[in-house]
Structure 1
Amino acid sequence: MNAPGLARAAAAVLALEGIALVVVALIETFGLGSGDAANLATALALIVLTLVGAAALIAFALGTLRGRSWARSGGVVLQVLAVALALAALTLQPVTWLFVLGVGVPGILGFVLLISSARREIESDGPTAGRG
C-alpha cells in the first residue's frame, strides 16, 4: 500500500521518536559501565522499558505506513503522553527547555499528523465507509 503524504510524515515522526529512545537507552547502558547507577536493578528495568517504548513507536510507525488504525491509535496515545511529559517538565526549576521542546514539539507534530492522516483517510473512503 502506498501511504499518503500525511501518513508517511506521521510515520517518520514516530520512527524518529523511536530511534531517539533507542539512543537514550544506549546512553543509559553505557552509563552503567561508568558506575552512574545508584541501583543496578532499577537502571536495567528503566533501560528495558525504554527499549519497549522504542519498539512500540517503531511498530506504530510501520503500522501507520500500512494504514492500520491500531497504529495511529497507539501513536496518538504516545504523542499525548509526550506532550503531558513536556508540560510536566515545565514545573521543574530550572526549566529544561531543551527537554521540553525536544519532547513537546515532536509530540504535538506527531499528534497533528496522526489525526490529520486519520481524517484524510475517512474523507477519502467516502459516505459508504464502514457499510457492507
Structure 2
Amino acid sequence: MRTNAPSVVAAIIIALEGLGLLALAGWQLVALVSGDVDSAPSALALLVLTLVGAAAVVAFAIAVARRRSWGRSGAIVTQVLILAVALGAVTGAYAHPLLAAALAAPAVAALAFLIAAARRAAAEEGRPDAS
C-alpha cells in the first residue's frame, strides 16, 4: 500500500484535535475536583461527554491514517462542528476572534486534506468520480 500524504497530514491534525479534547477534559477534571463548578453532576456529565468525544476524534484519526472511509466521514463531520463552534466564538456579545481563528484554521486545513485524501482514494480505486 502506497503512502497517502493527505491522509497522513489529516490524521496528524485530527489526532492533535483529539489531544486538545483530552487536555480540555483534564481542565474540566481539575475544576471538578477543586470544586470550581456550579453543579457537580453537570460538570461530571460534561467531562464524560468530552472524553467520549475525544475517543471518537482519536478513533477518526487512526481510521484516516489507515485510509478507512468511515474515518474520513466522521472527521469531516467533526471539522464542520468545530467550524460551527468557531463561528459562535467570533459572534455575539463575548466574541473572541483570535480563539475563533485558532479553532477554524486547523479545521479548514483538516477539511482540505480530508477532501484530498478522499479524492486520492477514489482515484486509486479507479472510480470515475475522482476527476
C-alpha distance in structure 2 between counterparts of 1:45 and 1:9, whole Å: 32
C-alpha distance in structure 2 between counterparts of 1:10 and 1:110, whole Å: 5
Asked if 2 retains the 8 angstrom alpha-carbon contact of 1:10 and 1:110, the reply is: yes
- Segments of 5+ residues of structure 2 without an aligned counterpart are none
Paired letter, 1:118: A
Corresponding residue for 1:107? 107
Using the aligned pairs only, state the percent identity.
41
Are 1:42 and 2:42 counterparts? yes
Give the direction of change, closer, same or farther, for the CA distance of 1:103–1:97 in structure 2 (3 Å limit).
same
Give the direction of change, closer, same or farther, for the CA distance of 1:61–1:38 in structure 2 (3 Å limit).
same
- Segments of 5+ residues of structure 1 without an aligned counterpart are none
Give the direction of change, closer, same or farther, for the CA distance of 1:121–1:47 in structure 2 (3 Å limit).
same
C-alpha distance in structure 1 between counterparts of 2:102 and 2:64, whole Å: 22
Secondary structure of 1:67's match?
coil
What TM-score results when the alignment is normalised by the length of structure 1? 0.90
Give the RMSD, CA atoms, in angstroms.
1.7
4+ runs deviating over 6 angstroms: none
Corresponding residue for 1:79? 79
How big is the shift at 1:3?
A: 3.8
C-alpha distance in structure 2 between counterparts of 1:48 and 1:65, whole Å: 26
Give the direction of change, closer, same or farther, for the CA distance of 1:60–1:34 in structure 2 (3 Å limit).
same
Secondary structure of 2:23's match?
helix
C-alpha distance in structure 1 between counterparts of 2:30 and 2:114, whole Å: 34
Secondary structure of 1:95's match?
coil
How big is the shift at 1:34?
A: 2.1
How big is the shift at 1:120?
A: 1.3
C-alpha distance in structure 2 between counterparts of 1:108 and 1:12, whole Å: 14
